[in-house]
Amino acid sequence: MGYTISQKIIKSHLITGDMTPGCEIGLKIDRTLTQDATGTMAYLQFEAMGIDRVKTELSVAYIDHNTLQSGFENADDHRYIQTVAKKHGIFFSRPGNGICHQVNLERFDVPGKTLIGSDSHTPTAGGLGMLAFGAGGLDVAVAMGGGAYYITMPKMLGVKLVGSLAPNVSAKDVILEVLRKLTVKGGVGYIVEYFGDGVKSLSVPQRATITNMGAELGATTSIFPADDVTRAFLAAQGRENDFSPVFPDSDAVYDKTIQIDLSSLQPLAACPHSPDNVKSISELAGMKISQVCVGSCTNSSLSDMLTVAAMLKGKTVHPDVSLSISPGSKQVYEMMARCGALADIIAAGARVLECACGPCIGMGFSPKSAGISLRTFNRNFEGRSGTKDANVYLVSPETAIASALAGVITDPTTLEAPTINLPEKFIINDNLIDAPATEKDADGVTVERGPNIKPIPSGSVPAKDLSCKLVLKVGDNITTDHIMPAGAKILPYRSNVPKLSEFCFTVCDPGFPERAKATGGGIIIGGQNYGQGSSREHAALVPLYLGIKCVVAKSFARIHAANLINFGILPLTFENESDYDKFTEGDDIMIDGLYDAVKSADKLTLTDKTNGAVATLNITLTERQRNIILAGGLLAYTKNGGK
């Protein structure tokens, strides 16, 4: 039996473990990336390990999230990241150079190599044939220090693409169709791999749109082959030497397969408030809108921007609509300016924002009260836009612009498709990417730390027996945006956990932070897919600071479960999901024999001392993960030499 693309790359990078699905494996990581919302903490953790120089072949630090500088906090974090990167051997992408995933695709992604990034949309690189994983910042710090990256060996989910897209139907509609078929939980435990004759009809930016938003499936990652289309993209970037073909074996076997006929797809939208709440644009047509946003790491490539410009040329945005355009990188922005596309966008009345994540993370351009906003982004969780009662629809650039011109949701296939011509060569100017100091000169670099940068909270060894409060009970599909919100008011405190703790879970329960502090912490109970969404480790780190000892849920999202373990918080699942209903927030809870159970047992008993209810809980940990919990977290485990 042959190998899939993913299995081939895993085999060539396997350090420890067995490639049997469900077994823990450790992978050699070739490259890493961080962004500023997660990077400050990642580099504080790297420094705490006491390693002078990164061990990866390439690591890049990006500034693309916290770029709204309304106070000193973000600028201080930028300077800290810049100086720590210079000292320790990390390339630094300055503010204004672009969104990490777009720039990495243009300048650093390489087929067949491994990448982890402290951002859940790192699988964007899979569009170029790279095996790329979103991870917590501490996992990235360990990889930069030369350590393996550990995951559970996934199953393989093959998506066979046939046919080619009709005019004004886009790659965004492809991934929305996959989400419609599989849901936000459908990719859990799988790598999603695209194959079939339809692949060759998709450009690298289109493939990257699909792998980027594959994160919303709950998948471990997503990947495309590296073929002649990939070679041409790299050649246009002056990087043809980075190309190597990556294909599955002819007799590769997938554990599950679905097929999508690209020719039959129609424009789609993810309706509020989940990326899998998908309907056709024809069903929604005529709905009045107030805002349209084009950009994010999902849809900000040059091809996306040229499409937008061509659709806007000679027209004016509807007077009831506010339209924002965010190019994905300086390269894209400059090329738009030089070819006249930027002028067409400006003339139409669009508001051009900087090359950054911006509205996607609630960093400005929030909708009006109860506004309907069409966005080419990847997430539409409630409140993520910065306006709690807004209704956000995720759409393609073609749908976004057709609707911005009409003032109502409009099917772009009713319009003439624009003709765009991509250049054979892209403008290459890496003047906003700073190289690190040489090893010889690194001692002369001083790392600058602003007053907003606070020490990292540390975990503790599990108690022999745990007696505490059930401080919070939440439902299904709790996202990391629920646990640790983003937005312009909160993101500046990502390096200040005590301040950040004031916002923890306030989307669900405004009283949670004070209650957790007053009770000295305790446990949280959640439903299915607890912790879906971004890779932000603050969704584990801040609960740790507030005294949370363990989280009991029906099921966990992969990255969040790993982050909980990394910070010494024990993730436990109900053996019988119906037991979730037995427990009430505020009850006194007891787990006898907790320490010994973590050490060697597969199950333990949760007792509600208030009402007498009991439930059996599963401990689904590898031996390495047990040792991490027993050490009080990954940082202590790593500093102790993996003991």
Whether pLDDT at 66 is above 90: no
- CATH number for the domain spanning 312: value is 3.30.499.10
List Cα–Cα distances, 50 to 116, 125, 525, 640, in angstroms. Answer: 21, 30, 36, 12
Which region among 355-359, 535-539, 591-595 has the lowest average model confidence (pLDDT)? 535-539
Tell me how far the alpha carbon of residue 135 is from its chain's centroid: 8
Q: Is residue 577 part of a domain?
A: yes
73, 450 in Cβ contact below 8 A? yes
End-of-domain residue from the set 386, 413, 440: 413
Judgement on whether residues 363 and 478 belong to the same structural domain of the protein = no
- Helix (H) or strand (E) holding 117, with range, is strand 114-117
pLDDT of residue 456: 86
Whether pLDDT at 336 is above 90: yes
Per residue in 286-301, pLDDT (tens digit) is 999 999 999 999 999 9
pLDDT of residue 610: 97
Q: Is 119 a catalytic residue?
A: yes
Judgement on whether residues 370 and 494 belong to the same structural domain of the protein = no
- At residue 459 the predicted structure's pLDDT band, cuts being 50, 70 and 90, is confident
Return d(Cα 236, Cα 196) in angstroms, integer: 25
End-of-domain residue from the set 352, 383, 413: 413
Whether pLDDT at 643 is above 70: no
> What integer is the mean pLDDT of 177-203?
97
Judgement on whether residues 577 and 505 belong to the same structural domain of the protein = yes
Return d(Cα 112, Cα 122) in angstroms, integer: 15
Return d(Cα 625, Cα 333) in angstroms, integer: 44
Return d(Cα 337, Cα 323) in angstroms, integer: 18
pLDDT of residue 363: 86
Q: Tokens for 410, please give them.
A: 């409009």
> What integer is the mean pLDDT of 212-224?
97
pTM of this structure: 0.93
Higher confidence at residue 640 or residue 329? 329
pLDDT of residue 264: 98
Looking at the chain, the whole-number percentage of residues with pLDDT higher than 70 is 100
Q: Which of these is catalytic: 13, 31, 59, 64?
A: 64
Number of independent structural domains in the chain: 2
Return d(Cα 527, Cα 536) in angstroms, integer: 20
Q: Tokens for 359, please give them.
A: 């509205």
Start-to-end CA span in the chain (Å): 38
Q: Is residue 176 part of a domain?
A: no
pLDDT of residue 478: 95
Q: Is residue 138 part of a domain?
A: no
Q: Is residue 216 part of a domain?
A: no
Judgement on whether residues 404 and 502 belong to the same structural domain of the protein = no
Return d(Cα 512, Cα 518) in angstroms, integer: 10
Vertex 364 angle, CA 456 and 388, to 5°: 85
Q: Is 534 a catalytic residue?
A: yes
Q: Which of these is catalytic: 119, 139, 304, 587?
A: 119
Largest CA distance in the chain: 71
Judgement on whether residues 407 and 525 belong to the same structural domain of the protein = no
Q: Could you give phi then psi for residue 605, rounded to 5 degrees?
A: -115, 130
Q: Is residue 213 part of a domain?
A: no
Judgement on whether residues 374 and 474 belong to the same structural domain of the protein = no
Per residue in 509-547, pLDDT (tens digit) is 999 999 999 999 999 999 999 999 888 899 999 999 999
Identify the burial level of 510 via C-beta atoms within 10 angstroms of its C-beta, where 0-12 means exposed, 13-18 middle and 19 or more buried: exposed
Return d(Cα 323, Cα 351) in angstroms, integer: 6
Judgement on whether residues 498 and 398 belong to the same structural domain of the protein = no
List Cα–Cα distances, 331 to 289, 338, 351, in angstroms. Answer: 31, 11, 19
- CATH number for the domain spanning 478: value is 3.20.19.10
255, 21 in Cβ contact below 8 A? yes
Range of the domain at 331: 268-413
Q: Is 536 a catalytic residue?
A: yes
Judgement on whether residues 612 and 485 belong to the same structural domain of the protein = yes
Q: Is 78 a catalytic residue?
A: no
Return d(Cα 293, Cα 290) in angstroms, integer: 11
Judgement on whether residues 491 and 394 belong to the same structural domain of the protein = no
List Cα–Cα distances, 630 to 479, 523, 541, in angstroms. Answer: 27, 17, 17
Judgement on whether residues 611 and 481 belong to the same structural domain of the protein = yes
149, 31 in Cβ contact below 8 A? no
Per residue in 298-311, pLDDT (tens digit) is 999 999 999 999 99
Q: Which of these is catalytic: 31, 207, 379, 538?
A: 379
120, 534 in Cβ contact below 8 A? yes
Identify the burial level of 370 via C-beta atoms within 10 angstroms of its C-beta, where 0-12 means exposed, 13-18 middle and 19 or more buried: exposed
Tell me how far the alpha carbon of residue 240 is from its chain's centroid: 28
Count of alpha carbons within 13 angstroms of residue 91, beta-carbon side? 20
End-of-domain residue from the set 371, 391, 413: 413
Return d(Cα 135, Cα 255) in angstroms, integer: 24
Q: Which of these is catalytic: 101, 515, 536, 626?
A: 536
Q: Is residue 126 part of a domain?
A: no
Q: Is 385 a catalytic residue?
A: no
> What is the rounded average pLDDT for all residues in the chain?
96
Q: Which of these is catalytic: 6, 373, 403, 534?
A: 534
- Closest by CA to 47, choosing from 532, 638, 643, is 638
Q: Is residue 162 part of a domain?
A: no
Q: Which of these is catalytic: 13, 31, 65, 384?
A: 65
Judgement on whether residues 409 and 471 belong to the same structural domain of the protein = no
Judgement on whether residues 501 and 368 belong to the same structural domain of the protein = no
Q: Is residue 490 part of a domain?
A: yes
3-state helix/strand/coil string of 231-250: HHHHHHCCCHHHCCCECCCC
